[in-house]
Amino acid sequence: MPERPPFAIRARLVTPASDGGARHELDGLLEVDAGGRIGAVRAFAELEGTPETPVVDLRPWVLLPGLVDLHAHLPQLPNAGLGAGLDLLTWLERYIFPLERGFDEATAERLAPAAFRALAAAGTTTAVLYGAVYEPSLDASFRAAEAHGIRAVIGKVMMDRVTYDDTLRPADILDLSLRQSADLCARWHGRDGGRLRYAFTPRFAVSCTADLLRESAALAGSTGAYWQTHLSEDLGELAEVARLFPESSDYLDVYDRAEGLGKRSILAHAIHLSDREILRMAESGSRVAHCPASNLFLASGAMRLARYLEAGVLVGLGSDVAAGPELSIFGAMRSGAYTQSALRVAGDSRPVLGPLDWLRMGTLEGARALGLEGVIGSLEAGKEADFIALDPSLTVPLPGVVAPADDPASSDAEALISRLIFRAHPAMVRGAWVRGRRLAGPV
């Protein structure tokens, strides 16, 4: 990493802690060293004498760890917010496949930089993305991420049951898809000290043969890259998977037989799993990218999240744009909380998560899902300095009427995070940093 002048930020700090719970400093200091790592996190009052590095005073803003989005689709962003209430397969045909078909290199060069700025503006400093199917558009997307500074995991979408290129012979698609994916992985996985990583990305079982699933999982295993796909999102999809893979006992078994499960596997949605599948997810260490805003938008289902957590499944959050209508992981937290509330109304007596639990899921649990909990996910000394600054005044219900000192959110971390989740403002993220370098996007 290039050396930059060290600096410190004085602000209110809230972060999950690696050993459990949360840390809250009403007047804190985050010190970033020349290598882009967090040198120290402390109460400002602990500072003795004059600080050695410049201190940027961002009070009354709040610093949080950068958000981790475990699941979004880069080519789909332009159609975010369209098609609410359609079933998954109809929505794909109408709004998504045309966009992905057109996401060539020139389109990626035009849209990807804007997408990374939009992610940073939403507070996301780590994004796990599906690209298009075309190899040059993936190179263009990686180049844009490299230049922007965001931390990103990206993969070329792999499909061999359907194709966007009618000139290809069906028999050639599998080999071509595997070779292009392996080449992209060789070029980009681990670039810039691990800031950019590759994920082998079979779209889902409906559009992939067992050969593609198995071969892509083998490539992920041999390269140390990630393997990502969709699992159990929609009931129509489940029926189609059962028809295409009659030998499998259930949906998860399709991926299990392909040897696709494990700690580097990120499975999006996973909302209709049986008890057997949930146990197998936990046993295999496979990660869930929970995308509740998407699941409500397409009426795909309501994940019984508490069952997964009780079973020990590692769950992080995804926006799933464009099935999710917004990039904000705060929006995913809000939709997740509403989903859990609705399940409770419907008779599920399991406890719902609190605001700080959702913050943890959108930061440190996302980092754990990527095996990066020692690198990012919380504001703790020694980690790389991925963080965001927010202006909480934009979430206050009656600005200027209630004195800040009388507002519970001004002193209580749980109340503050509750406001950021349930009264999120599109402009509340005022800055986003990766390795101490400020990202373009927030205004």
β-bridge pairing 265-269 and 157-158: unpaired
Rounded to whole angstroms, the Cα distance separating 194 from 196 reads 5
Q: Identify residues 114-143 at the interface with Zn ion (CB under 5 A).
A: none
Residue 155 Cβ vs Zn ion, minimum distance, rounded to whole Å: 12
Residue 424 Cβ vs Zn ion, minimum distance, rounded to whole Å: 22
Residue with Cβ nearer Zn ion (39 or 324): 324
DSSP E strands in 101-217: the ranges are: 124-130, 151-155, 157-158, 196-202
Residue 251 Cβ vs Zn ion, minimum distance, rounded to whole Å: 15
14-22, 281-289, 320-328, 413-421 -> range binding Zn ion (CB under 5 A): 320-328
Residue 370 Cβ vs Zn ion, minimum distance, rounded to whole Å: 17
Rounded to whole angstroms, the Cα distance separating 289 from 375 reads 19
Residue with Cβ nearer Zn ion (30 or 96): 96
77-85, 240-248, 314-322, 348-356 -> range binding Zn ion (CB under 5 A): 314-322
77-85, 159-167, 219-227, 313-321 -> range binding Zn ion (CB under 5 A): 313-321
Binding mask 250-269 for Zn ion (x = CB under 5 A): --------------------
Contact 62, 389 (CB under 8 A): yes
Q: Tell me how far apart the terminal alpha carbons of the chain are, to the nearest angstrom.
A: 26
Residue with Cβ nearer Zn ion (361 or 409): 361
Contact 318, 72 (CB under 8 A): yes
Residue 70 Cβ vs Zn ion, minimum distance, rounded to whole Å: 10
Residue with Cβ nearer Zn ion (100 or 320): 320
Rounded to whole angstroms, the Cα distance separating 135 from 215 reads 18
Residue type, 81: G
Residue nearest to Zn ion (CB): 320
Query: Residue 320, interface with Zn ion (CB under 5 A)?
Result: yes
95-103, 214-222, 312-320, 387-395 -> range binding Zn ion (CB under 5 A): 312-320
Total residues binding Zn ion (CB under 5 A)? 1
Largest pairwise CA distance in the chain: 71
Residue 71 Cβ vs Zn ion, minimum distance, rounded to whole Å: 6
Rounded to whole angstroms, the Cα distance separating 333 from 414 reads 14
Residue 72 Cβ vs Zn ion, minimum distance, rounded to whole Å: 8
Residue 269 Cβ vs Zn ion, minimum distance, rounded to whole Å: 7
Residue with Cβ nearer Zn ion (256 or 320): 320
Residue 100 Cβ vs Zn ion, minimum distance, rounded to whole Å: 11
Contact 43, 30 (CB under 8 A): no
Residue with Cβ nearer Zn ion (135 or 320): 320
Residue with Cβ nearer Zn ion (160 or 320): 320
Binding mask 409-428 for Zn ion (x = CB under 5 A): --------------------
- Helix-then-strand count for the chain, H and E: 16, 16
Rounded to whole angstroms, the Cα distance separating 418 from 8 reads 27
CB neighbour burial string for 314-339, b if at least 16 within 10 angstroms, e if fewer = bbbbbbbbbbbbbbbbbbbbbbbbeb
DSSP string, 289-335: EE-HHHHHHTT-----HHHHHHHT-EEEE---TTTSS-S-HHHHHHH
Selection from 140, 158, 186, 125 nearest residue 379 by Cα: 125
Residue with Cβ nearer Zn ion (320 or 407): 320
Residue with Cβ nearer Zn ion (237 or 380): 237
Give the footprint of Zn ion on this chain (CB under 5 A).
Answer: 320
